[in-house]
């Protein structure tokens, strides 16, 4: 089962299609004002006494790249470098202590007590996510605990005066959510529906948490045509999220994308074929990234090329049936998620693509390119 849908009644760009159905809108309608732990007491094995311990400085196997020793369950860079380049600092009874890259892109060392970004510091303060099952091969219905940060975004169309759920939004703090900018173009964000899998009230589920929207922040360099760029926006909620079952997702701050061997998860309420309406329940599926050269080679067939603020991913065909796990219209703003232990990181936002569920990877907004912008608004 693919995780995608098209709304064939809505006109779209002839080559690259956003993952939300969008009417043709007046470019002037946009509101320009919107731009703008670990326990160190674990016993060390006898053979490890003379080896670097957690928190010590280290050098990767290449002998050049500096880092610090961290638990493997708390090291994002392991997902971005080949296993042959890993270096183990020491071992304890529960996990490996590995050499983890700890410099900012410009080479500046950590200045926040071991955290490169405020985002990393906040991530460490978030509650751990509930334990969930293994990555899935085909699109299936999600469980409630799978995405405690994901909500459905209710949008008022400025031209039809109708309200509908057409996009996802991701809780990244107790007051802010992250989504795709094109979701909000020509539309007004009314509220976010959270704490439920369904888009309609279901007697078998707890009542949804409905939180209003106070303000929207578009990235100042967001463009729609000729091709989508900087497709990211922040939503400020009209109250603080206090429900303990709603947990923010961490931001992926590594400058290197996860390797194509690393399973990622996509989720959304889009339908499961090109003629479907929105799915009545949240769906999830597994995908992997593509190397940029491979992705650009595929996209070149449609005269499309990735920019630095984008990455691409697609489910590999598990059964050679030509069908791929993918996002599509209706899934916009939803997460491209990486799980490490009990932490979940949002690597990308569902943004755009060519045709859903076939050989062409979908394009996601690359979160790591926008950390400074996000922090300037969420954690100034």
18-36+150-246+372-378 classified as CATH 2.40.10.10: yes
Cβ–Cβ < 8 Å for 173, 37: no
Q: What is the pLDDT of residue 136?
A: 45
- Given pLDDT bands bounded at 50, 70 and 90, which one contains residue 19? low
pTM exceeding the 0.85 threshold for the entire prediction: no
Furthest C-alpha separation in the chain = 70
Q: Which is more confident, 91 or 161?
A: 161
The stretch 9-18 carries a mean pLDDT of: 39
Closest residue by Cα to residue 170 from 56, 54, 331, 27: 331
Average pLDDT over residues 132-159: 81
Which of 198-202, 216-220, 274-278, 316-320 shows the lowest mean pLDDT across its residues?
A: 316-320
With a cut of 60, say whether residue 241 has pLDDT above it. Answer: yes
The pLDDT > 90 percentage for the chain reads 39
The active-site residue out of 231, 257, 309, 326 is 231
352 within 8 A of 360, measured Cβ to Cβ? no
- Name the segment(s) of the chain with CATH classification 2.40.10.10: 18-36+150-246+372-378
Give yes or no for a contact between 257 and 366, defined as CB atoms under 8 angstroms apart.
yes
Q: Per-residue pLDDT tens for 262-274?
A: 999 999 987 655 5
pLDDT for 34 beyond 70: no
Q: Point out the catalytic residue in the list 68, 90, 119, 332.
A: 332
The mean pLDDT value for 346-366 works out to 83
Count CB atoms within 10 A of the CB of residue 13. 14
Q: What's the rounded Cα separation, in Å, for the pair 268 and 4?
A: 8
339 is catalytic: no
Structure tokens at 186: 């020509």
Where are the domain boundaries for CATH 3.30.1640 in the chain? 46-118
pLDDT at site 95: 72
Q: Which of 68, 102, 182, 326 is catalytic?
A: 182
Catalytic residue at 182? Answer: yes
What is the architecture of the domain spanning 46-118?
A: 2-Layer Sandwich (3.30)
Short-list 97, 4, 55, CA closest to 283: 4
In angstroms, the CA 245 to CA 358 distance is 36
**231 catalytic, yes or no?**
yes
DSSP states along 55-122: T-EEE-TTSS-EEEEEEGGG-GGGGTS-GGG--EEEEBSS-EEEEEE-B-TT-PBP-BTTBSSHHHHH
Q: Which two tokens stand for residue 90?
A: 């020491």
How far are the Cα atoms of 163, 312, 349, 353 from residue 298, in angstroms, in the given order?
A: 37, 11, 20, 12
């Amino acid at each position: 089962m693919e995780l995608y849908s098209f709304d064939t009644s809505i006109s779209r760009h002839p080559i690259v299609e956003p993952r939300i159905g969008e009417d043709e809108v007046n470019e002037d309608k946009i509101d320009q004002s919107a731009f703008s732990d670990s326990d160190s007491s674990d016993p060390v094995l006898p053979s490890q006494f003379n080896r670097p311990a957690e928190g010590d400085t280290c050098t990767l196997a290449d002998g050049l790249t500096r880092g610090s020793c961290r638990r493997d369950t708390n090291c994002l860079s392991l997902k971005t470098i080949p296993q042959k380049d890993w270096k183990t600092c020491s071992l304890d009874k529960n996990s490996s202590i590995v050499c983890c890259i700890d410099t900012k892109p410009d080479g500046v060392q950590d200045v926040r007590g071991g955290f490169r970004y405020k985002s990393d510091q906040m991530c460490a303060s978030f509650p751990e996510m509930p334990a969930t099952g293994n990555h899935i091969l085909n699109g299936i219905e999600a469980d409630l605990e799978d995405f405690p940060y994901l909500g459905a975004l209710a949008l008022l169309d400025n031209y039809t005066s109708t309200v509908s759920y057409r996009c996802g939004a991701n809780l990244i703090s107790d007051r802010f959510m992250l989504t795709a900018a094109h979701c909000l173009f020509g539309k007004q964000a009314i509220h976010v529906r959270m704490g439920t899998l369904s888009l309609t009230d279901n007697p078998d589920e707890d009542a949804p948490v409905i939180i209003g929207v106070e303000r929207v922040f578009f990235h100042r360099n967001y463009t729609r045509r000729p091709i989508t760029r900087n497709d990211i926006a922040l939503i400020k909620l009209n109250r603080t999220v206090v429900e303990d079952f709603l947990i923010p997702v961490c931001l992926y701050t590594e400058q290197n994308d996860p390797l194509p061997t690393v399973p990622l998860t996509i989720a959304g309420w889009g339908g499961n074929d090109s003629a479907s309406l929105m799915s009545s329940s949240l769906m999830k599926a597994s995908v992997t990234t593509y190397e940029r050269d491979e992705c650009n080679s595929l996209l070149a067939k449609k005269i499309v090329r990735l920019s630095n603020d984008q990455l691409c991913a697609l489910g590999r065909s598990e059964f050679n049936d030509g069908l791929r796990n993918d996002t599509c219209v209706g899934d916009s703003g939803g997460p491209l998620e990486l799980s490490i232990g009990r932490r979940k990181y949002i690597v990308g936002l569902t943004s755009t693509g060519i045709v859903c569920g076939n050989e062409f990877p979908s394009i996601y907004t690359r979160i790591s390119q926008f950390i400074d912008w996000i922090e300037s608004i969420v954690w100034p």
